[in-house]
Structure 1
Amino acid sequence: MADPKLLILSGSLRKGSYNRMLLALAAEAFGPAEVTDGDLHLPLYDGDLEEAEGVPEKVQTLAAQIKDTDAIVVGAPEYNKGITGVLKNAIDWVSRVPGSAFKDKPTVVISASAGRTGGETSQFMTMSCLTQMQARLIPGTAVLIAGAMNAFDEDGQLKDETSRKLLVQRMEKLRAEVA
């Protein structure tokens, strides 16, 4: 049997973002998989643009990646006590593509944030948006990495053993959903 397809989506565009680091660890913990990093470098949603030109090709590509994957992990950083514009914009655009791309896709949302709550508010907002998209959110203890600037070592590994174990548990549960 072929390895499952895992799509990772980072709500931060910065290459060195803590959520990208956390997503890399999540993909590793998930185990053997064909991993795709979804590109959220999308134009801002604009109904006039959609009417004049249709859904942009990059959005259609992202929606196709979502439809074609077996499981999704979303890195949901928190900016100003909420979901990032990048992540919300991607969800909004994908909702405009016919066929409900997220419908029934096993999905886990994780967060790393500089703040003391580790992105809790953003994670809940992201899950609320994904619920409307009919994603199958996998329940479990939230992976919230607070003080992210101090949470990773120089090799990009989580310093805290409890956080590492929790991430592994969440990814094992996600993998079991697609087995």
Structure 2
Amino acid sequence: MSTSDLKTPTDLTSNATKSVQDALNAILADTFALYMKTKNFHWHVSGPHFRDYHLMLDEQAAQIFASTDDIAERVRKTGNTTLRSIGDIARHQTIKDNDKDFVGPDAMLKELRDDNLALVEHLREAKDIADDAKDNATSAMIDDWTDQAERRAWFLFEAGRKA
């Protein structure tokens, strides 16, 4: 069996779906990186707003993780293959990991906000690619993922505001 055995029938051209595949796999890698960072900060947040931040980050991580299956399945629906391993994610991600021993809560919120906004930029680029490929379904899904990332960035911004 080879990757050609995994080809899902589609009316989209192979060149167009390859561009969509590349864009979505990059977004998938960044989504996994953002999920892991959000969980990391959820597990390690401290300070006077611990409960609020802990719950918000857990909610955001769940939303981020839930989108990974939709992204990967969209790649498969276009007749392509998706990421296969942690190493594959690392080769495609642009969102940087944070392995520091300690990150203060304000820095956590800012970093996650900036990462979500970077994801929005990549989603907008992917939307252009999907639109050029006449891949309406992917384009519509990207709209939802963009709205979710913008909402997360907004909440992180508001939570990090000083009174």
Please confirm whether the aligned pair reaches a TM-score higher than 0.5, indicating the same fold. Answer: no
- Richer in helix (by share): 2
The structure with higher relative contact order (CA 8 Å, sep 6+) is: 2
- Richer in strand (by share): 1
TM-score band (shorter)?
under 0.3
TM-score by length of 2: 0.26
Larger Rg computed on CA atoms: 2
TM-score by length of 1: 0.25
